[in-house]
Amino acid sequence: MLNVSDDLLALLAATGTEPRPDSQLEALALAVAADLPVLLWGEPGIGKTATLTQLADGLDLPLTTVIASVHEPSDFAGLPVVGDDPAVQGVPMAPPDWAVRLVRAGRGLLFLDELSTAPPAVQAALLRVVLERRVGTLRLPSGVRIVAAANPRSSAADGWELSPPLANRFVHVQWSYEHEVVVRGLGGVWPRATMPRLDPDLLPSSVAWARRAVCGFLEARPTLVHRLPDSEARRGGPWPSPRSWDMTLRLVAFATAAGASREVLSMLVRGTVGDGPGLELLAFMDRLDLPDPEALLADPSSSVLPERGDLRQATLDGVVEAVRKRPERSRWEAAWAVLVRALETGAPDVVVVPASTLAALRRDDWPVPPGIDRIAPIVDLRRRVGAAR
């Protein structure tokens, strides 16, 4: 009976894999590569542990799993061991066996599971593990990465909210599942995600871009440097502080060097400083990445405009604003050439507002440029320019 059941179990376990992009896993892998502690939030049974196994295999790291909720504070802070002469030698704090194994290996992926069911005393003991990588008297090697997982308090057994000091040490990644992936996996084919790769040639420019973006944003929004949420539940998630902004800067650099998508970057940024500040930073980065209006005015025929409609609109508004600040006939005509270029390469609706504003900037002695004929059917610019005389 058991021999036959073993054969049946082997057949059930014989599944294949197929390549499939996975934004969640890419965000997780980038945060781990950046040597930042990551906390996966998700309902029970949706594959968080299986994901960590795949991540450990992809990074070629041995996986060590520690269930935080079944340990005492001393399991992380260390157990006192009295020696021959405590008054002279002191009382060292002996680390647990899993920490000793990680130190001997010199590398590994430490998975702290069930973090939201760990009581406050255990969470306090975990602070040094997560931030300083210390377990008792041992310091975990630089080759060790830390990932934790937690269930929302509503679905956690005897769940606790995370303390603000502990929550602020993590990159929070919301974990979910896709119906199609589960059905196909149960049918015998599970996804196999490709690990992101950093481009060595992009490292210096990625660091410069990340510093410019984060520092420029905080100069414009100084009240967001540190903002502790009012509610207990939100304090247990991502929120802005100097520590979390430092983590954000690092993640922006890593995501840029890896050529990550906007979706992945958004997951990382919002998972570090929260949804509001994170989305504001992303919008600020979009504006920083816009073409220089002066460069567009200098060579309109070769101008390359953003594909996204909102960014294209902002770029054209910037060109018109540059002419308004320094109105000259040559610059005014060049701006019309940029608008014509925008009309040729994208949706016409983004041209309407900047064209109307540009028409109002015309001086009496400036002739109507020929490019207006291309735009007139959309906004009736000939009538507008005539009225502006």
**Domain boundary at 238, 273, 288, which?**
288
Give residue 258's pLDDT. 95
Please say whether the beta carbons of 324 and 293 come within 8 A: no
Q: Does residue 8 belong to any structural domain of this protein?
A: no
Give residue 382's pLDDT. 46
Q: Does residue 5 belong to any structural domain of this protein?
A: no
The CATH number assigned to the domain holding 73 equals: 3.40.50.300
Distances (CA, A) of 238 to 158, 173, 250, 379: 22, 10, 16, 46
Contacts of 191 by beta carbon, 8 Å cutoff, 6+ apart: 17, 18, 19, 20, 22, 181, 184, 185
Give residue 381's pLDDT. 46
Give residue 245's pLDDT. 97
**Closest C-alpha among 277, 266, 273 to residue 239:** 273
Q: Does residue 77 belong to any structural domain of this protein?
A: yes
Distances (CA, A) of 202 to 39, 158, 247, 256: 28, 46, 19, 8
Q: Which amino acid is at 80?
A: P
- Residues (pLDDT < 50) of the chain are 381-382, 384-387, 389
Return d(Cα 389, Cα 380) in angstroms, integer: 15
**Count of the separate structural domains present in the chain:** 3
Between helices 262-273 and 275-288, what is the axis angle to 10°?
Answer: 130
**Domain boundary at 288, 309, 343, which?**
288
Q: 137 and 87 in one domain?
A: yes
Q: Which residue has the tokens 């002469």?
A: 85
Q: Does residue 6 belong to any structural domain of this protein?
A: no
Q: 28 and 119 in one domain?
A: yes
Q: 344 and 220 in one domain?
A: no
Give residue 13's pLDDT. 84
pLDDT tens digits, residue range 100-139? 899 999 999 999 988 888 888 888 888 888 888 888 778 8
- The conformation of residue 229, written as its DSSP 8-state character, comes to -
First to last CA, the chain: 97
For residue 279, count CB atoms less than 10 angstroms from its CB and return exposed for 0-12, middle for 13-18, buried for 19 or more: middle
Q: 178 and 56 in one domain?
A: yes
Query: 148 - beta bridge partners?
Result: 39, 112
Range of the domain at 284: 200-288
Give residue 85's pLDDT. 55
Tokens of 67: 């269930």
pLDDT tens digits, residue range 332-383? 999 998 988 888 888 888 888 888 888 889 888 888 887 777 776 666 644 5
Q: 41 and 171 in one domain?
A: yes
Q: 251 and 175 in one domain?
A: no
Give residue 227's pLDDT. 94
Return d(Cα 217, Cα 278) in angstroms, integer: 11
Q: Does residue 101 belong to any structural domain of this protein?
A: yes
pTM of whole model > 0.85?
Answer: no
Give residue 42's pLDDT. 86
Q: 267 and 329 in one domain?
A: no
Q: 124 and 71 in one domain?
A: yes
Q: Does residue 223 belong to any structural domain of this protein?
A: yes
